[in-house]
């Protein structure tokens, strides 16, 4: 449409004429959308917001007085905020290529300042630290002209013909060479050991192969010999097994016959003998009991008979004393003792007869009876 202008995505449209922009800017800033612009009365210009690049190749002197040529690349652009666009538009809108030139000069000055406070060793080994310090010191100055720096890369550091950096690298290079030589020697030694191990393995494999072949050949020969002897050995083993079976069968038959004889003859005979023994024991026990009973009955009958005859025995003994010559030495007491002695003699005779029941008769009373002398209570009687 006639008079309607639209900026590109990486551009800012600056409209001058008419009313002023925000915060007293001499133009209005339009980004991201279009705007109707009156021809003749308004003027439209475009400021790039794309990424730009600036290169720096600057000779700087270190704190040690050694000159170094430092090459760096700066990536920068116009800031997206309204203030940055206004600042950059007022400075670079007529010649936008000047942004790279001015940025290179600003960073060259900061590089010389910062490198002058560092040693070669610090610059070489701490490049990121150098870049960070340069960015920090240039940030405020770049913001004043509406530019922001996205990155700073130190591409190279060269001391020309001084040879300082090369000398600084020499010890490390020598250490690396020594390490490389040691590694090469170790690799060579490892290769030699591996080759020796491979040779030993091959020899061991050959030896084992020969042993296996020999064992295989011996096994084949032994198998063939066993096959040749298999027929006779099998027959002998079979005959031996038949004889063993026959022997075992005969032993089992003998054992069976022995068990049969025991069951038919020995066991009945033992049973009959046991029966006879038990009957004999019973009969003997019966006869013993009868004998003991008879003997007990006879003793009881004899005792009763003797007891019944005891008065008569005493009487006869007293009658025998009637014609005897008896001297009583202690008066009436002596007579009582004589009577008691007669009774005692009767009991003694009874007990003797009981103990010697069935004994053969002795001599007559006249021949065997000795004279009796008995002393009673200090007195003395004599019986002829």
pLDDT at 320: 55
pLDDT at 102: 93
Q: 264 in a domain, yes or no?
A: no
Burial of 205 (0-12, 13-18, 19+ CB in 10 A): exposed
Q: How, if at all, do strands 372-376 and 379-383 pair? A: antiparallel
What is the full DSSP assignment across 107-166? HHHHHHHHHTTS-HHHHHH-HHHHHHHHHHHHHHHHHHTTEEEEEEEEEEEE-TTS-HHH
Helix or strand or coil: residue 36?
strand
Nearest to 184 by CA among 173, 195, 170, 192: 192
Give Dmax (Cα) for the chain. Answer: 216
Rounded Cα–Cα distance for residues 361 and 70 (Å) = 172
Rounded Cα–Cα distance for residues 142 and 124 (Å) = 26
Cα–chain center distance at 149: 66
pLDDT at 212: 87
- Give the Å distances, CA to CA, from 2 to 36, 37, 172, 237: 9, 9, 70, 125
Say if CB 34 and CB 4 are below 8 A apart.
Answer: yes
pLDDT at 241: 82
Rounded Cα–Cα distance for residues 354 and 307 (Å) = 11
What is the per-residue burial (b if ≥16 Cβ within 10 Å, else e) of 341-377? bbeeebeebbeebeeeeeeeeeeeeeeeeeeeebebe
pLDDT at 379: 42
Q: 45 in a domain, yes or no?
A: no
For 192, the enclosing helix (H) or strand (E) is helix 164-261
Domain stop point among 144, 169, 194: 169
**Half-sphere CA count of 172, side-chain side, radius 13 A:** 6
Q: 210 in a domain, yes or no?
A: no
Task: Write out the residue range of the structural domain in which residue 353 sits.
Answer: 295-383
Q: 260 in a domain, yes or no?
A: no
Rounded Cα–Cα distance for residues 223 and 12 (Å) = 103
Domain stop point among 131, 153, 169: 169
283 Cβ contact list (under 8 Å, min separation 6): none
Say if CB 121 and CB 62 are below 8 A apart.
Answer: no
Token digits for 223? 């198998």
pLDDT at 371: 46
367 Cβ contact list (under 8 Å, min separation 6): none
Q: 122 in a domain, yes or no?
A: yes
Number of domains in the chain: 2
Q: 320 in a domain, yes or no?
A: yes
Domain stop point among 116, 140, 169: 169
Q: 163 in a domain, yes or no?
A: yes
Phi, psi of 46 (to 5 degrees): -120, 135
- Residue 63, domain CATH: 3.30.479.30
- Mean pLDDT per 10-residue section of the chain, whose length is 384 residues: 80 81 75 82 88 92 90 93 90 91 92 91 88 90 91 88 81 84 91 91 90 87 80 73 82 83 81 84 84 69 66 63 51 58 64 58 43 42 41
Q: 162 in a domain, yes or no?
A: yes
């Amino acid at each position: 449409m006639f008079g309607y202008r639209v900026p590109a995505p990486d551009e800012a449209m600056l409209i001058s004429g008419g009313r002023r922009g925000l915060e007293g800017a001499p133009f209005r800033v339009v980004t991201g959308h279009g705007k109707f612009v009156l021809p003749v009365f308004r003027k439209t210009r475009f400021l790039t917001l794309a990424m730009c690049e600036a290169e720096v190749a600057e000779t700087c002197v270190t704190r040690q007085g050694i000159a170094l040529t430092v090459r760096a690349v700066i990536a920068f652009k116009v800031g997206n905020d309204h203030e940055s666009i206004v600042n950059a538009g007022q400075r670079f809108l007529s010649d936008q290529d000047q942004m790279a030139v001015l940025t290179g000069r600003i960073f060259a000055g900061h590089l010389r300042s910062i490198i002058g406070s560092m040693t070669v060793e610090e610059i070489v080994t701490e490049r990121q630290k150098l870049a960070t310090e340069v960015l920090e010191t240039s940030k405020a100055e770049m913001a004043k002209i509406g530019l922001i720096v996205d990155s700073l890369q130190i591409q190279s550091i060269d001391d020309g013909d001084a040879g300082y950096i090369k000398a600084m690298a020499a010890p490390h290079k020598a250490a690396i060479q020594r390490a490389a030589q040691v590694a090469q020697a170790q690799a060579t030694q490892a290769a030699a050991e591996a080759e020796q191990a491979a040779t030993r393995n091959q020899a061991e494999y050959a030896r084992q192969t020969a042993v296996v072949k020999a064992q295989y050949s011996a096994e084949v020969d032994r198998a063939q010999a066993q096959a040749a002897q298999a027929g006779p050995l099998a027959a002998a083993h079979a005959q031996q097994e038949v004889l063993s079976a026959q022997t075992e069968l005969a032993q089992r038959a003998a054992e069976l016959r022995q068990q049969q004889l025991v069951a038919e003859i020995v066991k009945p005979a033992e049973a009959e003998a046991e029966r006879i023994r038990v009957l004999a024991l019973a009969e003997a026990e019966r006869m013993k009991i009868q004998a003991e009973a008879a003997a007990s009955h006879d003793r009881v009958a004899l005792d009763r008979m003797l007891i019944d005859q005891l008065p008569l025995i005493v009487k006869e003994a007293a009658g025998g004393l009637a014609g005897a010559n008896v001297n009583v030495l202690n008066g009436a007491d002596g007579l009582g003792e004589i009577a008691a002695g007669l009774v005692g003699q009767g009991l003694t005779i009874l007990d003797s007869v009981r103990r010697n029941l069935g004994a053969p008769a002795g001599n007559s009373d006249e021949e065997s009876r000795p004279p009796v002398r008995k002393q009673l209570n200090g007195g003395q009687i004599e019986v002829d």
